[in-house]
Amino acid sequence: MRVLLLTNEYPPHIYGGAGVHVEYLSRELARLTPVEVRSFHDQAFSQDTLTVRGTKVDGAQFQGCPKELLSPLRAFETCLRFNGEGVAADVVHCHTWYAHFGGILAKILYGLPLVITVHSLEPLRPWKREQIGRGYDLSRWVEKTALEMADAVVAVSKSTREDILRLFSIDEKKVQVIPNGIDTDEYTSTPDRAVLQKYGIDPTRPYVLFVGRMTRQKGLYYLLQAIPRLDPSLQVVLCAGESDTPALQKELEAMVADLQSRRPGVVWIPEMVSRQTTIALYSQAAVFCCPSIYEPFGIINLEAMACGTPVVGSKVGGIAEVVVDGVTGVLVDPKLSSAPPFDPTDAAGFAEGLAAGINRVARDPAVRSAMATAGRKRVEDNYSWRSVAEQTLALYKSL
């Protein structure tokens, strides 16, 4: 069976969990069957049964339109080119709305079964309008169209499956849960402490770690509000990059600067660092915090747990399915509003809950150690990329 994966992200051009998912899924699938990946970047790679072909669209032809529309239009142009290059596959599998138009065309023009993995859902990310304006209406339209005409839809968590069935007109028999995975050989605790010196982190003091983009979705704003309530002996390491908008970036950077002026031990790393650096940061952290207000799965929590780090996270989406409250970490209910923009109804209360959870874990070495051991074991027992690939291939064959 020849598999065609369509994706925006592929190494080394990765900025989120969907890109990580496609990287490892393609690698494991290629051990079982021939796989071709088509991405949105300049790249070409071929080894054994895995081929990667990038298509880079610079958007020069769209310079007459508003800036916020360039990204959606480039996505559609790239998807057109995917299909214009010809398709020799038995199934097409799309990841994120950027690639959905390519899947729609491949299904219609080449008669292929269409599979879509849902990493997030546009109706549940209303803040995207700040980033791409009316392009958000386009992303919602193409997502709805693709999902409702797909032959199979993969949800990365049970909560995501429920959201799909609630928001779209899809036969529930077509929607299957296949979670994300983790490479536990790669993601494991490392004693390398050089990263602490590199970023000015005091090796004699514990720290709480945040890793993620500067988006409203990732909840960094609420963690920043929690920092004044943290134990003064606890450092805070914020590894944040890829802001939704310049305005949001300035807002968050100003909050960090204010905190740094009032509290020692707030370390700001305004970039997405390498994988090995991230693993080292996880490994040395006392606590990892994932304060997202929307998270269909949250691979970063698996990464932290695999490195033996307890997680304090929002009780939303896939986080609540990955993190076992009181066993591998602490879950904090953000009590989100039921209508857009889906913000916490009590932001101060959510921040206070995050601080209480972080302090509880950081202050008790015995609790921290027990959670670290339980988290690593949960990852090893339940989340394997090999299993994800086998389930995905079985789904293809059923079509």
Same domain, 147 and 22: yes
Is residue 58 a part of any domain in this protein? yes
Tokens of 185: 């050989």
Same domain, 217 and 357: yes
Is residue 129 a part of any domain in this protein? yes
Same domain, 60 and 119: yes
pLDDT at 59: 83
pLDDT at 82: 97
Is residue 186 a part of any domain in this protein? no
Same domain, 123 and 216: no
Entry pTM: 0.92
Name 167's Cβ contacts closer than 8 Å, sequence gap at least 6.
121, 123, 124
DSSP string spanning 51-109?
EEEE-----GGGTTS-GGGHHHHHHHHHHHHHHHT----SEEEEESHHHHHHHHHHHHH
Tokens of 145: 């169209």
Residue 60 has pLDDT above 90, yes or no: no
Same domain, 165 and 215: no
Is residue 78 a part of any domain in this protein? yes
Same domain, 220 and 337: yes
Domain that holds residue 337: 194-382
Each residue's pLDDT tens digit, 302-326? 999 999 999 999 999 999 999 999 9
Is residue 43 a part of any domain in this protein? yes
Number of domains comprising the chain: 2
Same domain, 109 and 209: no
pLDDT at 192: 87
Same domain, 75 and 86: yes
Residue 104, judged by CB atoms within 10 A of its CB (0-12, 13-18, 19+), counts as buried
Q: What is the CATH number of the domain that holds 214?
A: 3.40.50.2000
Beta bridge partners of 89: none
Is residue 37 a part of any domain in this protein? yes
Each residue's pLDDT tens digit, 362-377? 999 999 999 999 999 9
DSSP string spanning 131-200?
HHTTHHHHHHHHHHHHHHH-SEEEESSHHHHHHHHHHS---GGGEEE----B-TTTSS-----HHHHHTT
Same domain, 200 and 232: yes
User: What is residue 342's three-state secondary structure?
Assistant: coil
Each residue's pLDDT tens digit, 74-112? 999 999 999 999 999 999 999 999 999 999 999 999 999
242 confidence band (pLDDT: 50, 70, 90): confident
